[in-house]
Amino acid sequence: MKTANTSSHIQVTVAIFRHILNLFKFSEKIQLDLSLDPSEVNNFPVLDGVTSTALRAASFDTTTVEAFCNKYPTQKSTALFTKLSGELGPNSPLLGVEDIYFRDPENQTSTILENFPGRNLFMNNAHLPETSVIKFMRYWMTGSAHQHLEVLHVIFAEDYLINPGIIHEEFKNEAEVFDPSKRQENYEYNTQIIGCYKPHRFQCSRSLDIERISDGRRASFSVTGSWFRFCVWNIN
């Protein structure tokens, strides 16, 4: 359910939501897509059963976003079509959501990635240095972090420069080229993130593969001057 600005719209949206929920009693997927000012987000009431949320605005302070996430602690996905002002801490409730989309994380990209324990993470307009990419991949390979991750997709800001060769050089003795006997050519996945249409497919014939030391789980990665993509295969 989507609502736009003004208090009257909020009241109408809440009333319709509760009426529909009362009629149908239960739904496995309830989406809440809000275009509101920060003050209105703070005053927005808690709605039962919401599984996915989205916030749309020019910018939100971190405190507002985290307070909103605390209203829906069982949601499975959230999308931030906004710029965050203020630093996210390592224990932020926002990072506890399984599937997240950030439209504009910029310099917080490394912090978000380092502290994300969930399944699917998407970031646009991102700043992610080569050292952070390498650290992330090493942590995944050794089992130190990111053990529930399935998909990571980072699109770099247009004015951000990254050297893919540094990352390829780091893993030149461990990464393998595509082998059809070990995995499929295309990686398919689903997500409940609002605004991310499904099903999704990554073409991975040119991706390189690495393995997790503990269980041999295989992941494919691609890095260019424009984006970094990492996806974990559900095979051993």
| Dist. CA 86–CA 62, nearest whole Å | 5
Omega prior to 199 cis, within 30 of 0: yes
**Chain centroid, CA 223 distance in Å:** 18
Report DSSP state, residue 219: E
User: Which residues, 6 or more positions from 84, have their beta carbon under 8 angstroms from its beta carbon?
Assistant: 59, 60, 61, 62, 65, 102, 104, 105, 108
CATH number for the segment(s) 2-233: 3.80.10
Residue of 66 and 36 predicted with greater confidence: 66
Q: Considering only CA atoms, which of 221, 150, 225 is closest in space to residue 190?
A: 150
What pLDDT shows up at residue 47? Answer: 83
Give the model's confidence band at 31: pLDDT under 50 very low, under 70 low, under 90 confident, else very high. confident
Residue range 36-42: mean pLDDT, rounded: 82
Mean pLDDT of 42-69: 89
pTM for the predicted model, two decimal places: 0.89
Q: In the chain, what are the domain boundaries? A: 2-233
